[in-house]
């Protein structure tokens, strides 16, 4: 039986444009835990990168979207609400032919709050679970190490440059 196709998309730095907020927070404190705490205060204020909802609206007709983020699952409700709102708002203006069922054809995978593995290790474990059930056609991430991990596991990966600390000395 043929597996359903999916696309993996990261949230922060890919779906959401978090670059400006990261820069402001980094100027406020060098303490990583404090940076994360401050960042979570902005979760419902993040704007999407305009190109990403456009890409998703074109893909979602034929593929399931799986958002894989290193955010803690304690922020699931606010994350899901923000993603749904942005996709529905965008589709209602630019892709009114899409049904609500099509727009909501996504899953969000978030790190358990007691998971302290690296982002790459966490996303590798999610990928291992996903490839059991789905055919992953490609992945988008802003972390070059994670993009490389997808590539090394046979998944074409597009690296979204500009935010991640491995690309520039950011958050």
Question: Cα–Cα distance between 144 and 102 in angstroms, integer?
Answer: 30
Q: By residue range, what is the domain housing residue 98?
A: 4-16+48-159
148 part of a folded domain: yes
23 part of a folded domain: no
85 part of a folded domain: yes
Per the structure, how many domains does the chain have?
1
Question: Cα–Cα distance between 139 and 126 in angstroms, integer?
Answer: 12
Greatest alpha-carbon pair distance for the chain in Å reads 53
C-beta atoms surrounding 32 within 10 Å = 10
Classify burial at 138, counting beta carbons within 10 Å of its beta carbon; exposed 0-12, middle 13-18, buried 19 or more: middle
Q: Which residue has the tokens 């679970």?
A: 129
168 part of a folded domain: no
Q: What is the DSSP string of 43-110?
A: TTTPEEPTHHHHHHHHHTTTSEEEEEEEEEGGGHHHHHHHHHHHHHHHHHHH-TTS-HHHHT-EEEEE
79 part of a folded domain: yes
pLDDT tens track of the chain, all 171 residues? 899 999 999 999 999 999 888 888 988 999 988 998 899 998 999 999 989 999 999 999 999 999 999 999 999 999 999 999 999 999 999 999 999 999 999 999 999 999 999 999 999 999 999 999 999 999 999 999 999 999 999 999 999 976 555 444 443
109 part of a folded domain: yes
Question: Cα–Cα distance between 34 and 81 in angstroms, integer?
Answer: 24
Which CATH number characterizes residue 69's domain? 3.40.50.1000
């Amino acid at each position: 039986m043929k597996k359903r196709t999916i696309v993996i998309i990261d949230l922060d730095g890919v779906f959401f444009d978090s670059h400006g907020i990261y820069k402001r927070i980094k100027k406020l404190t060098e303490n990583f835990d404090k940076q994360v705490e401050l960042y979570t205060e902005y979760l419902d204020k993040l704007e999407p990168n305009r190109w990403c909802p456009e890409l998703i609206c074109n893909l979602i007709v034929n593929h399931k979207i799986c958002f894989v983020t290193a955010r803690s699952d304690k922020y699931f409700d606010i994350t899901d609400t923000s993603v749904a709102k942005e996709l529905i708002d965008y589709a209602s203006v630019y892709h009114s032919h899409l049904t609500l069922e099509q727009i909501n054809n996504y899953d969000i995978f978030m790190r358990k709050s007691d998971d302290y593995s690296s982002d790459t290790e966490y996303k590798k474990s999610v990928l291992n679970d996903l490839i059991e059930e789905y055919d992953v056609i490609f992945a988008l991430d802003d972390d070059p190490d994670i993009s490389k991990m997808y590539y090394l596991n046979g998944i074409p990966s597009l690296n979204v440059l500009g935010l991640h600390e491995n690309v520039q000395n950011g958050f």
